Amino acid sequence: MCGCVVLVVGMVAAINLAVPMLASSALHPSASALVWIVDTYVIFFACLVIPGGAAGDRFGRKGILLSGLALFAAGALVSAVSPNVALVLVGRAVTGVGAAAVLPNTLAVLLHAVPAERKGATIATWASMTGIGGVIGNVGGGAILTGGSWRWLFAAAVPLSLVLAALVARIAPVSSRHQRPVGPLGATLLVGASVALLLGIVEGPEEGWGSPVVVAGFACAAALFAAWTLVEVKSAHPLLDPRLFRIAGLRSACLGMTAVFFGMFALFYVNASFLQYGKGFGVVETGLGVIPLTIPIILGGRHVGALSRRVGLDATIALAFAFVGGGLLGLSTNGTHTAYAVYAIWLVVTGIGVTLALPTLSGVIAGSLPPAQAGVATGLQATTREFGSALGVAVVGSVLTSRFAAALPPDIGGDPHTVAQALAATTPDRAHDVIAAFVSGADSALRVIGVVVLVLGGLVVLESRLSRQRARGNQ
């Protein structure tokens, strides 16, 4: 089960390493297409993870888990052999649907398989795999991409999925089924609303913020989110009841989780290209280059609970966002001539913030709901994590594209929006100008993300304090 978690989470991180290869490939993707190649998987994963768990409860967790692994393999194969960007995106969507079927059912199968006294340790082990999966995705993805083609990354996922499916078929027990509704209409509306929102964000720099496609994207997102809310509120058994967000602590913790992953995956998207273009790293070095971010997570996670009890919940959350936002701002000051050691220090600073945030916010989400709704709490955490990741990639990609295009020397023709397009439009002796424009754009993008994370963190802390004050007043 842990192997399945590492596979689906690792793919979220690994794809960022392939962005420079994709940009210079025969597909000739635009800047917005590169963001979609990353985000299509994440957004289907985010929006369908709760329906994936519900489908497992209703139709059998082992069967849905096996179906998810099969879809994951099929989608990866389609992406690996795709002759154009459109088919890559179809494959990414199918892979995301498969991941959404896999993740929640791995935990459900585990909890059914182990005795009651081991469930706490089992949940902790399973949760740690979501962090380890990101590290393995970076390191393993870098190793696979040394083959020289982005296609190898998707191709490698196919046998891994099939081997895991064979192990699941042989080892995993069959659990009882429950008549839990899957809610296909609500799931469809949520996916549609999320895709429309990302469409408006991603296409803005190239199409223009007042263009029909961007305005229509934002308008459709508002309408579909409203329709989803109405459908879920009227449902007798909603998959994700919007009324839960009336609970102030839950609302602020979900916003906080979204903000942390917004910042972290925006960094992953920029980091992969920055280290390859700006520092001249290979893909393996780039995968290893993000490891300093994970050192605090590995070493400090077990101490967060004691710190929170000592300084208080609000202070812990405030420190978390100060470190994440401050780390991102620090990373935005690194140019091509800055030593990697300095960059690594800012990665550690960011990692300290992530280490403080994740268990603290997870505890608030779980503690805001009764034990009978533990599955809802787990689904909320997964959804907010993946949605924040998709939103972070979309926003940072949008800012990076616009700032890169603005920083390019005016004599580079062709209106390029990616480094690959700009390098193809100029002579080799001007490559340093293109790289300098990219680094300038990356720094601007990280500054925007850092400020957004700090502002959202301030809102989370403010609402957390106000909700506790209201609770004391009611007593």
Q: What is the pLDDT of residue 413?
A: 67
Confidence tier at 475 by pLDDT (50, 70, 90):
low
Is the pLDDT confidence value at 347 over 80? yes
Query: Which tens digits make up the pLDDT trace of 425-458?
Result: 788 888 888 999 999 999 999 999 999 999 999 9
Task: Name the CATH topology of 244-475.
Answer: Growth Hormone; Chain: A; (1.20.1250)
Question: What per-residue confidence (pLDDT) applies to 60?
Answer: 86
Give the pLDDT mean for 470-474: 69
% of the chain exceeding 70 in pLDDT: 97
Give the pLDDT of residue 375. 65
Per residue in 107-164, pLDDT (tens digit) is 888 888 888 888 777 877 787 787 778 888 988 999 999 988 999 999 999 999 999 9
Tokens of 398: 């949008």
pLDDT averaged over every residue in the chain:
88
Give the pLDDT of residue 382: 83
- Please compute the mean of the pLDDT values over residues 270-290 and round it to a whole number: 90
Count other Cβ atoms within 10 Å, centred on residue 230: 13
Confidence label for 345 from pLDDT (cuts 50, 70 and 90) = very high
Please write the tens of the pLDDT for every residue from 395-417: 999 999 889 988 888 877 667 77
pTM given for the model: 0.88
C-alpha distances in Å from residue 98, one per residue of 14, 34, 105, 108: 17, 21, 11, 16
Per-domain residue ranges of the chain: 1-178, 183-238, 244-475
pLDDT band at 180 (very low <50, low <70, confident <90, very high): low
pLDDT at residue 209 greater than cutoff 90: no
What secondary structure, in 3-state letters, does the chain show? CHHHHHHHHHHHHHHHHCHHHHHCCCCCCCHHHHHHHHHHHHHHHHHHHHHHHHHHHHHCHHHHHHHHHHHHHHHHHHHHHCCCHHHHHHHHHHHHHHHHHHHHHHHHHHHHHCCHHHHHHHHHHHHHHHHHHHHHHHHHHHHHHCCCCCHHHHHHHHHHHHHHHHHHHHHCCCCCCCCCCCCHHHHHHHHHHHHHHHHHHHHHHHHCCCCHHHHHHHHHHHHHHHHHHHHHHHCCCCCCCHHHHHCHHHHHHHHHHHHHHHHHHHHHHHHHHHHHHHCCCCHHHHHHHCHHHHHHHHHHHHHHHHHHHHHCHHHHHHHHHHHHHHHHHHHCCCCCCCCHHHHHHHHHHHHHHHHHHHHHHHHHHHHCCCHHHHHHHHHHHHHHHHHHHHHHHHHHHHHHHHHHHHHCCCCCCCCCCCHHHHHHCCCHHHHHHHHHHHHHHHHHHHHHHHHHHHHHHHHHHHHHHHHHHHHHHHC
Give pLDDT tens digits for 49-102: 888 888 888 888 899 999 999 999 999 999 999 999 999 999 999 999 999 999
Domains 1-178 and 244-475 equal at CATH topology level? yes
**Predicted pLDDT at 473:** 67
Fold of 1-178: Growth Hormone; Chain: A; (1.20.1250)
